[in-house]
Amino acid sequence: MTIAIVVLISGRGSNLQSIINAIDQGELPARIAAVISNEADALGLTRAQQAGIETRVLSHLGFANRNDYDLELRNLVAEYRPDLTVLAGFMRVLGPRFVSHFAGRIINVHPSLLPKYRGLNTHARALADGASEHGASVHFVTTDLDAGPIIIQTKVPIYEHDSPEILAERVLKQEHRILPQAIRWFAEDRLRICEGRVLLDGGTRSEQGLTSHLQ
Ligand code: GAR
């Protein structure tokens, strides 16, 4: 089945591009119904337009509070009746007004091995800690920031002279791999959330202890 997805972005849109490419290459049974940005000058909007995808901008500026923005964004996303909403570099925290409405149908890509380094500046924080490895996660979104059930994670090594920028690039390459993979599993109806954990293929993998499908 081909699923309809809405992608939320705030900037560069390289993860959005990885989804567009996977669809173009016939690797992802999905159709991007719309790309929505909270920033009018997001490069990702240009990428979407070049791919012939409808774009919308809903700036967070001018809203009296977070709840009002969440409600407006929820209504905008709902117009497209998505099976799945994908946060691909969307740099706003979404509250219950948004998240509860789409529960189990929103995923986010995050540049760390969650639960490590929720929030911002993950690469600099991993380096400051002297960590030997870092990575990326795709998870279902809940009202707890970057704390929802993990679908897939991937590790990268940290080398001695890494800068945050070099490390970010290494992690980003993996994001471009695991985000389309997670969407594919969702489209193929292979994911279930059970007691706060993600089961792939009815839990066979999790029974083997691979609850986060670490690659
Ligand atoms: C990506 O590294 C993504 O994981 C991160 O922002 C970047 C967006 O890049 N997202 C977060 O930090 C969300 N908490 P992109 O616009 O090129 O896809």
Q: How far is 135 from 139, CA to CA, in rounded Å?
A: 13
Shortest-distance Cα residue to atom 8 of ligand 1: 89
| pTM for this model (two decimals) | 0.95
Closest ligand 1 atom to residue 11 Cα is 16
Question: Is there a domain that residue 20 lies in?
Answer: yes
> What is the total residue count of the chain?
215
Shortest-distance Cα residue to atom 12 of ligand 1: 110
The CATH number of the domain where 98 resides is what?
Answer: 3.40.50.170
pLDDT at 215: 62
Name the DSSP letter for residue 2. Answer: P
When the pLDDT of each residue in the chain is averaged and rounded to a whole number, the result is: 95
Question: Is there a domain that residue 214 lies in?
Answer: no
**How far is the centre of ligand 1, averaged over its atoms, from the C-alpha of 151 (Å)?**
17
Question: Is there a domain that residue 38 lies in?
Answer: yes
Write out pLDDT tens, residues 128-169. 999 999 999 999 999 999 999 999 999 999 999 999 999 999
134 carries an active-site annotation:
no
Cis peptide before 82 (omega within 30 of 0): no
Write out pLDDT tens, residues 44-86. 999 999 999 999 999 999 999 999 999 999 999 999 999 999 9
Question: Is there a domain that residue 107 lies in?
Answer: yes
Strands 106-110 and 133-140, bridge-based pairing: antiparallel
**How far is the centre of ligand 1, averaged over its atoms, from the C-alpha of 73 (Å)?**
19
Q: Quick one: angle between helices 14-24 and 164-187, nearest 10? A: 40
Domain of residue 139: give its range: 3-209
Question: Is there a domain that residue 71 lies in?
Answer: yes
